[in-house]
Structure formats: structure tokens, C-alpha cells
Amino acid sequence: MDKPVEGAGRYNVHGKFVLPAQYSLGNFQGLINVRSYTQTDKLRDKSATWDSVDWLRSITRLPIVSKGILTAEDAREAVKHGVSGILVSNHGGRGLDGVPATIDVLSEVVDAVRGSGIEVYVDGGIRMGTDVVKALALGARAVFVGRAVIWGLAYDGENGVKKVLEILRDEFSIAMALSGCRSLDEISADLVEKRSAYSSKL
């Protein structure tokens, strides 16, 4: 719902990437012949609102996770409409140029839903085990890893993905040890220092 149209990001529009003829986007098969990322705009329902979440809840017993939440206001709205979880995401910055990094708004979203029982996840910029520690410290229940997994897949298929996840796991374990955390419960917000603390006063 936060992305009713495809963004006009420089890399999307000017990159003009088109899949080679022998490949297709499997999750769109039978719906539309999509050859480039920008063509997925044809599949979007521009009329979607929060009421659409209510409708979706009425036809499924599956948990609904709202992706793309970046503000406390939207987080509270998601709670009001009965979502089971929130995924803090800026879609890799491909939607609207200049949106904040997910790690910078994570605390705001977590604070907004505190006490509701809703889990908060985060994606975007998770490249190292230390990134996972920071996200958990700021209140995320889990992180989603996309780009690094794709790199692993391109490198060596399934084995490459396994290698990427092993590297992240090992880096995460080392980061916990060097931070003095013996368990996940000991990862807390005081491990993270905001960049503004180091800004020049000039």
C-alpha cells in the first residue's frame, strides 16, 4: 500500500534493464509478460487502502505482515487494522528517492507498537553480522536478507546462498561475543550509538 506506483528511481528508469529472452519472472507467470522491473507497475492496485487489509483479513486466517512501514503513524495504523507483524522496509530505496534508511526509523516504529504484541522485522542494508546485532538492539524481532542472498546465488547457486548465511551467522556470533552478549536477551539499545553523536559542531 505504500507503493501504489513504481518509483522513478534513476537506476530503474535509466538503467533500462530487460531480462534476456530465455528468462522470465516466475512469480508473474500467467499474469503478465514482464520483461523488466518497471513493467510490474501494471500489476499494482492503485486503489488499495488500509480497508484493503481489513478485506484481506476477512478471507484468510494466515498472519498478515505489513511491509513498507517507515513511520510511527503508519505503524499505529497497521495495529489498528489488525496486522500480525510489521516489516520496516524502504524497498531498497527503489520507491522514493531520499527515504530514510530503515535502521534510522526502526526505533520509532518499535516504540509505536510497543505493548501491542505485534512483531517488528526489518530489511534493507543487512550485509554483515554487526548489522543484525544493531537491528536486534533497536527492537527488531528478526531481519530479512535479500541482496546478499542474491549475490550468493549468483556466485554459486544454493551453495553460495548457504555460504552467505554461514558468514552472516558467524559474524553475528563474533559480534555478540565482542559486545559481551551471552544471549539474544542481552542485546540492547545501548550497544548502538547514533551517528549524530560524532557530528562536528562547526
Could you give the residue numbers annotated as active site? 91
Return d(Cα 58, Cα 41) in angstroms, integer. 26
Instruction: Give 85's strand partners.
Output: 65, 119
Cα 123 to Cα 33, 43, 64, 91, 180: the distances in Å are 28, 23, 17, 8, 25
Instruction: Give 144's strand partners.
Output: 123
Quick one: which of 73, 145, 133, 65 has its CA closest to 105?
73
3-state SS assignment for residue 67: strand
CB 138 within 8 A of CB 107: yes
